[in-house]
Amino acid sequence: MLRFESDYLEGAHPKILEKLIETNFEQTAGYGVDDHCERARELIKKACGAPDAYVQFLVGGTQTNATVIASLLRPYEGVLSAVSGHINVHETGAIEATGHKVLPLASEDGKITASQIENAYSAHINDSSFEHMVKPALVYISQPTENGTLYSKSELEAIREACDNCKLRLFIDGARCGYGLKAENNDVFLPDLARLSDVFYIGGTKVGALFGEAVVFSNKKLCENFRYMIKRHGGMLAKGRLLGIQFETLFEDGLYFEISEHAMRLALKIKYALKDMGVNVLFDSPTNQQFPIFKDEVLQKLSEKYSFCYWCRVDDTHSAVRICTSWATKEDSVDALLEDIRKLV
Amino acid sequence: MLRFESDYLEGAHPKILEKLIETNFEQTAGYGVDDHCERARELIKKACGAPDAYVQFLVGGTQTNATVIASLLRPYEGVLSAVSGHINVHETGAIEATGHKVLPLASEDGKITASQIENAYSAHINDSSFEHMVKPALVYISQPTENGTLYSKSELEAIREACDNCKLRLFIDGARCGYGLKAENNDVFLPDLARLSDVFYIGGTKVGALFGEAVVFSNKKLCENFRYMIKRHGGMLAKGRLLGIQFETLFEDGLYFEISEHAMRLALKIKYALKDMGVNVLFDSPTNQQFPIFKDEVLQKLSEKYSFCYWCRVDDTHSAVRICTSWATKEDSVDALLEDIRKLV
Amino acid sequence: MLRFESDYLEGAHPKILEKLIETNFEQTAGYGVDDHCERARELIKKACGAPDAYVQFLVGGTQTNATVIASLLRPYEGVLSAVSGHINVHETGAIEATGHKVLPLASEDGKITASQIENAYSAHINDSSFEHMVKPALVYISQPTENGTLYSKSELEAIREACDNCKLRLFIDGARCGYGLKAENNDVFLPDLARLSDVFYIGGTKVGALFGEAVVFSNKKLCENFRYMIKRHGGMLAKGRLLGIQFETLFEDGLYFEISEHAMRLALKIKYALKDMGVNVLFDSPTNQQFPIFKDEVLQKLSEKYSFCYWCRVDDTHSAVRICTSWATKEDSVDALLEDIRKLV
Amino acid sequence: MLRFESDYLEGAHPKILEKLIETNFEQTAGYGVDDHCERARELIKKACGAPDAYVQFLVGGTQTNATVIASLLRPYEGVLSAVSGHINVHETGAIEATGHKVLPLASEDGKITASQIENAYSAHINDSSFEHMVKPALVYISQPTENGTLYSKSELEAIREACDNCKLRLFIDGARCGYGLKAENNDVFLPDLARLSDVFYIGGTKVGALFGEAVVFSNKKLCENFRYMIKRHGGMLAKGRLLGIQFETLFEDGLYFEISEHAMRLALKIKYALKDMGVNVLFDSPTNQQFPIFKDEVLQKLSEKYSFCYWCRVDDTHSAVRICTSWATKEDSVDALLEDIRKLV
C-alpha cells in the first residue's frame, strides 16, 4: 500500500534524527529555554526578517491554535474563521473548550475576504443587541488553507487592512506553511506572513519534523506571559530542546524550504498529470494537497493499492479525495499512482 | 411613546405583586426549598401531566440555557441548534463559556427538522475523523422560535423520534411558551412539551412574572445534582421563594394561560389587520411576535410614536421590525398603532 | 419558629415593594439601561463620593463574584482569597468554572493581611518555576467577612498599598456591606471602599432588596465591555429596571443606611447580652452575624423555637452557630430569643 | 557543569532513537491507531496484568492530568489532592482551565491518607450547604509523589477502600512510575497500580523516552470517548506512532524496569552517602529524587560545578535542594558529586 492520505505519514527528515542522536546526551534545562531553542528562535526570526519577533515552540497544531487564540481574546470575544477552518471543524471544540466562539464566515474554497471581515465586524457594532452577541476580535486564516488554496499577497494585505480598520487581530495558521511558500505562483513569503499577521506559526509536523510548530508573534504586545498559557494548555514540553533541535535543523541551511520544494514539485506533477487526463478537481489547489474527483469504481480500484483521504461525495457516482505529497513522498510512488490512474480513467 | 419592541417592557402581573406583598414577612429557607417553591412545583407538574417530573426555578433565559446545556453534555459534546437559535446568536457565548460548541443547522424561519438532525448525526458518525469533531449530543429548539414560528405536534414527534434514533437528547426553550400554547392553530400543549422533551422550560419573564423560568426535567436521569449546577452558574437565588411565589400565582388559577391568551388575541388582531392592509411580513408568525415589513419612511414616521425592535433590512427601501404583544399590552395601544399604520400604508 | 439562620429570610423592605407597584406599568427598555437604573447609578456614585465610577447591577452574589473576577483576569491568572472566602468555599466552583484558580491564604477569622498578600506575590515571582504556577493577579476580600469580622481603614489601606506594590487588583465583596458600614467602631465607609478598591459591590439581597448587587468600578480601565460579561454569565436581567428601582429606593433617602443600622442595633443587643451571660463566641464579630458557642443540649432546646445556621462543632459537647439579624428582624424576636437563652445557660 | 536538577535533562535511551530511525520511513495512519501503538498497548496491558484495560498515549504529564481529570468529572465536581500535588501547584491552573477545583488536603510529605479522603467526603455530604460546595468526586495521588515518597501497598489498598466507600474514583499520576517500581522496599507494582486505581499512567518522559505518558484505564466505564477528550485538549499527536514506538521499545524487553533500576541504584548511593556524611534531608525519599539540606555556603560552592533544583529555605543558613537521578545519570557524575560534597560538609 502506498499512502497519500496525509502529509504526516512518515517520521522525520533524516537530518533531524541525526541531530537528535548527536545531541542526545547533552544536559539542558527543560521547557524551551535551552540553547537549541534559542538558536532556532534566532534562525526563524532571521528567516522572517523580524528581528524583534517573539518565538515559542509548541508540539502540535490544535494545541497551538487553542493556546494562541485563548491568549489573544478576552472572555466575551470570538474568532472569525472560514466555516471550513480547522478550528471550526476539526479540533473537537478545542477553541470552545477555552470559552470562545468560532464565528464562521461562508467560504467555498477555504478562503475568506477582507470585505467579509469588515461586514461581520460592522454588523456586530451596528446591532442594537451587540452586547448580547460574541464580539469579533480576532481573524483566523490558514495559509495554505485546509482546501489547499492560497492567499495572494494583495489578498492578505487587504485582510490586514480590514483588521486594522476594525481593530481586529490576525492569526495565521501555517501548519502547512512550507508548502505554501513553495507553491505555484505564490507571492507570500515568511517576511510577509510576519509583517501582515499579529501572530502566525510555521508548521513542523507536516514539513519534516517529528512534531512541532513555531509560533511567531510580530505584535509583541500580545505575547506577554504567553509561556504561562503554554503550560496551562499542557503544551510546555519537558524536553523542550527537542523542538529547538528540530527547528534549528530545518532552518540552519534552508532544509525547510528545500523539502517543501520537493513536495511541491511532486504535487504539481500530480496536478498537471490529472489535468491532462481530464480529471476534475474539487478545489483548484496550487499546494501539496490535491483534490481530484474520481468515479466511485475508479476510486475503489485505486484503493486496492493506494490510500487517500476521502473528502466528500460529489454526486451519485463520483467522490472527491485528498491526495497529499510531503517532504517524504517518493517520486516512484507518484509515478506509480499516476500510471495506475491513467489506466483507469 | 407606546412600546412594542419586546414582551418584557413592564413589571409583573398585579396578582404577582399582591402575592409578594402578602408573603413579604414570611420567613423561609433560602435557595428554592421553601413551601412556595414546593407548591409551585406541584402545580407545574400537574399542568404538565407529569407527576414524576423534576422542577427547578432559575432567574432568566440565558442562565437557564447555559445551566441546562452544560449539565447535559460531556465536555466534547455539542448542541445542535437552528443557526438563528438564541443560544447561537444572542447569549454572548454563554454556551461556549461552558466549553460547548453550538452546532448550527440552516433555518429560514427559526425551525429545524427531524431530517436535519438525523443527517447531522449520521454525518458525524460516518466521518472517519469523527473523534476530531465535536460530537452532537443534544438538540436545542425553542417553542415558539425566535422568529415567532411554532412546531406542530407532528413535527415535534418527528424530532423526538430522530433524537431517539440518534441517542440525542432534546431540550426545548420555552421562554415564550405561554404565547405558543395559546397561538393560532397550536396543537402542542404543556403535556406534549413534557412528554416529547428530555427537559424544557416554562418562561415567566416574558409571561407575567418579574423574572423566572421553570425548568421541567421529564427525563429524571438527567437532573441528578442539577442544583449544584444552578449554584455554580450563579443562578441559585438566595430568596428562592420569589420564584416559587410567582409560579404559584401563575399556575394556581390558570393565570398563565389567561394572560397568554390576552397577548395572543392582540397579536392576531395586529397580524390580520396588517394582512388586510397588504403589509408583507418577514415570517408568517402565529404567535405574539409579528414581523411586518415597512417602507423606511413609514417606519420613520411610526417611530415618532411607537418603538419596535428593528429586525433587518429587507431591500433598499424596506425594513422588517418585530412587534410584540404581551400579558401587559393594552388594546388601546394596539388600536392606536393599527390606525396610524393604516394612515401611512 | 423564629428564624435567625440568615439575613435573607424575608422579602424586601416595604418601600421597595411600593415602588415596584408604583412603577409596574411603566414601559422601559430592558437590560439595565432605563432611567431607574441611571438614577440609581447616580445615587450610588454620590454615596460613594465617586462621580466618575462605573456602576452596573447584577442579581446575586455568586454571579457577581464570578462575573467580576472573570472580567479582571487573564486566563492564567488567579485570585488570592482567605481560605474561608465565599469564592473559595461556597460557590460550587463558580470561579473555577471561569477557568481561574482561587489561591487560598490562611485565615483564622476571615481576614487576610497586607503582608500575606505581599508574601504570596513575591513567593510567586521569585520561584524559578513561576510560569508553571498560577499568577496571582487579584485580591478578593469581603467586608464584612463571612465570619462577621471587619477590616479597619488602616488595614484596608495597607492591603491597597500591598496591591499597588505587587501590581495586583483589589476586589471587595460587599454582600453585607450595609451592616459593615453601621458596625461597632467601623471606620470604613462607602467612599473608602470606592477609593481603596478597584471594584467592589454594595449588596442588596441581604440588605433590604428582593435581590440585587450594585457593582462599582472605581478603576475605569477595568470596566470596558463589562456588560458583555454580564450577559455571558447569565446575569443580564431582562427587566433590568427591577434592579434600578430597588437601589433607587435604597439610596434616595438613606434607607440603606437606616435599615442597616436597625439590624446592627439588634445584633449588638444580642452580642452584649450573650457576653453578659458568659456565652463564648467563635469569632468576635462587630457585625450582624454573631457566632455564639452553645452546649449541644442548650442548642437542641433552643432549636425547638428558633432556627440558626449550624457553623461547626467546637468540642465534644459544644457547637457554634451563626445568628443573623437583618433589616427585617423584629426586636420582639430578639428579646424572646435572649430570654430563652438566659433561661438555659 | 554536571546537572542533577531534574530527571529530564537528556534526550532518550539510545534504543528508542534506534527504533525511531529504523521505522522512520514506514507509512502509518496518524493519531495513535497504528500497529506500533497497538503493540505497545498489548505490552503495557501485559505488564499490568490487565488484559482488559484501555490504553492511550499522551505527550506530557500536565496534558495527561488535565485530560484525564476533565474526562472523569461532571462540571460541579472537584478532585481531592495533596496540597503539594502537581495538579495543585505546578500546572498553571490546567485543571481549573477545565472548570474544576482542586480540593487540597494537608500533607507534609506529599502523601495523603485514606482517612483524610473519607473525612473530606463526609464533611461535604454532611454539610447543609453541600450544594453550594464543589463535590469531591475523584482522588488524585502520585506514585512516587512530588517529594519522592511512596505509598505502600497497604496504604494504597486503604485509599482504594476509602474511594469505594465514598464512591470516589482514584487516579494515580505515575510520571515517575518506573523509579517507584524499583524503589527501596517498594511493594507496589504495575499490576497493583492497575488493580487499585480507576486510571493511572506510566510516565515515559522522565523514564527513558523523548516524551510520552501511557494512560491505563482499568475501569472501562470511564474511558468512553476518551480520544475525543485527547483531541480537544490538543494531545492527539499527529504522528502518534512516535508514542507507540517509544513504549514498544520500553516494554518489549523490560527496558523500562532496567533503566529505572539504574537510576534507583545511583539515587540510593547518593542517599546513603549523604546519610553517612550526616547531611539531613527534607523528606526521607526512597526514590530517585533526594532532598538534602545544605548550608548555604556549601550549596553556593557546589553550584559552581553542579546544578540542583532549589527547593526551599530551611532556616537562615540552610536550604533544601532536589537532586535527581535518571535512566541517563552517569555513575562517574554521582561519584564526583559525592566526593565534592564530602569535602565541603
Helix (H) or strand (E) holding A324: strand A318-324
Preferred mutation among B2, B8, B241 to probe C, highest tally of C CBs within 10 A: B8
Residue from B186, B175, B195 nearest B7 by CA: B175
Q: Does D83 touch chain C (CB under 8 A)?
A: no
Closest residue, chain C, to A32 (C-alpha): C131
Nearest to C99 among A99, A227, A231 (CB): A99
Q: What is residue D321's three-state secondary structure?
A: strand
Per the CB < 8 Å rule, is A228 touching C31? no
**Cβ-nearest to C229 among A70, A75, A236:** A75
∠C129-C135-C138 over CA atoms, to 5°?
Answer: 160
Chain C nearest-CA residue for B204 = C238
Of A17, A64, A94, the CB nearest to D21: A17
Hey, what's the cell of C306? 428558633
Nearest CA in chain A to C72: A74
What is the reported pLDDT for D335? 98
Q: Which residues on chain C are in Cβ contact (under 8 Å) with B211?
A: 237-239, 242
Residue whose entry in the numeric block shows the C-alpha cell 529555554: A33
Please indicate whether, in this complex, the C-beta atoms of A97 and D27 are within 8 angstroms of each other.
no
Interface contact flag, C128 D92, Cβ < 8 Å: no
Closest CA to A128 of D65, C261, C326, C31: C31
Name the 3-class secondary structure at C65. Answer: helix
The grid coordinates listed for C46 are 454620590
B231 closest CB neighbour out of D70, D132, D228: D132
Type of residue numbered B100: H
Place of cell 510512488: A333
- Reduced DSSP (H G I as helix, E B as strand, rest coil) percent helix, strand, coil of chain B, to 5: 45, 20, 40
Q: How far apart are CA B325 and CA B289, in angstroms?
A: 7
In a mutational test of the C interface, the residue from B210, B226, B227, B333 whose CB has the highest number of chain C CBs within 10 Å is: B210
C-facing residues of D in 312-331 (CB < 8 A) are: none
For chain A, report the end-to-end CA distance as a whole number of angstroms: 20
Q: Which among D76, D225, D227 has the least Cβ separation from residue B225?
A: D76
pLDDT at C11: 98
- Chain A residues near residue B92 by CB distance under 8 angstroms: 76, 131-134
Q: With CB atoms and an 8 Å threshold, state whether C94 touches B232.
A: yes
Q: By the 8 A CB rule, do A226 and A199 touch? A: no
- In chain B, residues with a C-beta closer than 8 Å to the C-beta of A131 are 92
Return the residue in D56, D69, D76 with the most chain B beta carbons within 10 A, the one to mutate for interface testing.
D76
Using pLDDT thresholds of 50, 70 and 90, give the confidence band for residue C38.
very high
ipTM: 0.97
Beta bridge partners of D315: D318
Q: Scanning every residue of chain C, which has its alpha carbon at the shortest distance from the alpha carbon of A74?
A: C74
The shortest CB-CB distance from C17 to any of B9, B24, B60 is to B24
How far is residue B161's CA from residue B155's CA, in Å, rounded to a whole number?
Answer: 10
Q: Cβ contacts (< 8 Å) between B2 and chain C: which residues? A: 27
User: What CA–CA distance (Å, rounded) separates C217 from C170?
Assistant: 11
Instruction: Please state the pTM of the whole predicted model.
Output: 0.98
- Residue D307 confidence (pLDDT): 97
- Report yes or no: C225 at the A interface, CB cutoff 8 Å: yes
Interface test with C, best of A56, A68, A71, A76 (most C CBs within 10 A): A76
Instruction: Indicate the DSSP class of residue A281.
Output: B
* Strands (E) located in chain B: 2-3, 54-58, 77-82, 102-105, 135-142, 169-173, 199-203, 213-217, 289-290, 293-295, 306-307, 309-315, 318-324
Q: What is the pLDDT along chain B (345 residues), one digit of tens a residue?
A: 999 999 999 999 999 999 999 999 999 999 999 999 999 999 999 999 999 999 999 999 999 999 999 999 999 999 999 999 999 999 999 999 999 999 999 999 999 999 999 999 999 999 999 999 999 999 999 999 999 999 999 999 999 999 999 999 999 999 999 999 999 999 999 999 999 999 999 999 999 999 999 999 999 999 999 999 999 999 999 999 999 999 999 999 999 999 999 999 999 999 999 999 999 999 999 999 999 999 999 999 999 999 999 999 999 999 999 999 999 999 999 999 999 999 998
Q: Which strand ranges, in their side-by-side order, compose the sheet holding B213-217?
A: B54-58, B213-217, B199-203, B169-173, B135-142, B77-82, B102-105
> Which mean pLDDT values do the consecutive 10-residue runs of chain D (345 residues) have?
97 98 98 98 98 98 98 98 98 98 98 98 96 98 98 98 98 98 97 98 98 97 97 98 98 98 98 97 97 97 97 97 98 98 95
Distance between B135 CA and the closest CA of chain D, angstroms: 8
Cα A335 to Cα A160, A266, C293, distances in angstroms: 41, 9, 88
Intra-chain end-to-end CA distance of chain D, in Å: 20
Which tens digit of pLDDT belongs to each residue from C146-156?
A: 999 999 999 99
A307 Cα distance to chain centroid: 22
On whether any CB of chain C is under 8 Å from the CB of D96, the answer is: yes
Assess B78–A contact: CB distance below 8 Å, yes or no.
Answer: yes
Count Cβ atoms below 10 Å from residue B317 Cβ, excluding itself.
Answer: 11
Evaluate whether D110 touches D146 at the Cβ level (below 8 Å): yes
* Assigned C-alpha cell, B42: 406541584
Rg (CA), chain D: 20
- The confidence score (pLDDT) of residue D84 equals 98
The residue of chain A with its CA nearest to that of C74 is A74
In this structure, what DSSP letter does residue A203 have?
E
Residue C70's CB is within 10 A of a number of other CB atoms, namely 24
Q: Is D131 near chain B, with CB under 8 Å?
A: yes
The answer to whether D9 contacts A27, with C-beta atoms less than 8 Å apart, is yes
With cell 492578505, the residue in question is A156
Name every chain A residue with its beta carbon within 8 A of the beta carbon of C76: 225, 228-229, 231-232
Which cell is D91 given? 500546572
Chain A CB within 8 Å of residue C71 CB: yes
Tell me which residue in A75, A90, A129 faces B129 most closely, judged by beta carbons: A90
Task: Report the largest interatomic distance among the alpha carbons of chain D, rounded to a whole angstrom.
Answer: 63
Look up residue D8 and give its three cell numbers.
Answer: 529530564
Say how far apart CA D59 and CA D252 lie, in whole Å. 20
D322 three-state secondary structure: strand
* pLDDT computed for residue C8 by the predictor: 98
Radius of gyration of chain A (CA): 20
Residue B105 is predicted with a pLDDT of 98
Instruction: Report the first-to-last Cα separation within chain C, whole angstroms.
Output: 20
* Interchain contact, C225 vs A76, CB within 8 Å: yes
Cross-chain Cβ contact D229/B31 below 8 Å: no
Rounded Cα distance between A110 and A148, Å, is: 8
Q: Which residues of B177-207 are buried (b: 16+ CB within 10 A; e: fewer)?
A: bbbbbbbeebebbbebbbebbbbbbbbbbbb
The closest alpha carbon to C329, from C17, C9, C1, belongs to C9
Measured CA to CA, the distance from residue B310 to residue D6 in angstroms comes to 63
pLDDT of B205 reads: 98
Under the phi-then-psi rule, with left for phi > 0, alpha for psi from -120 to 50, and beta for the rest, what region is A55? beta
Strand pairing class (A77-82; A102-105): parallel
Put simply, whether C131 touches D (Cβ < 8 Å) is: yes
pLDDT for the residue D187: 98
Q: What is the mean pLDDT of residues C165-169?
A: 98
CB contact, 8 Å: C167 with chain A? no
pLDDT of residue A203: 98
Regions in chain A scoring below 50 on pLDDT: none
For B6-62, what is the HEC assignment?
CCCCCCCCHHHHHHHHHCCCCCCCCCCCCHHHHHHHHHHHHHCCCCCCEEEEECCHH
- Interface partners of D (3+ CB pairs, < 8 Å)? A, B, C
| A2 vs D contacts (CB less than 8 Å) | 27
Instruction: Tell me phi and psi for residue A65, to 5 degrees.
Output: -60, -50
Question: How wide is the angle at C-alpha C257 spanned by C-alphas C251 and C260, nearest 5°?
Answer: 130
- Residue from the list B1, B29, B60 with its beta carbon closest to the beta carbon of C237: B60
pLDDT of residue A24: 98
Cis peptide bond prior to D144, omega within 30° of 0: yes
Convert the pLDDT of each residue in C299-327 to its tens digit. Answer: 999 999 999 999 999 999 999 999 999 99
Nearest to D64 by CA among D250, D211, D191, D238: D211
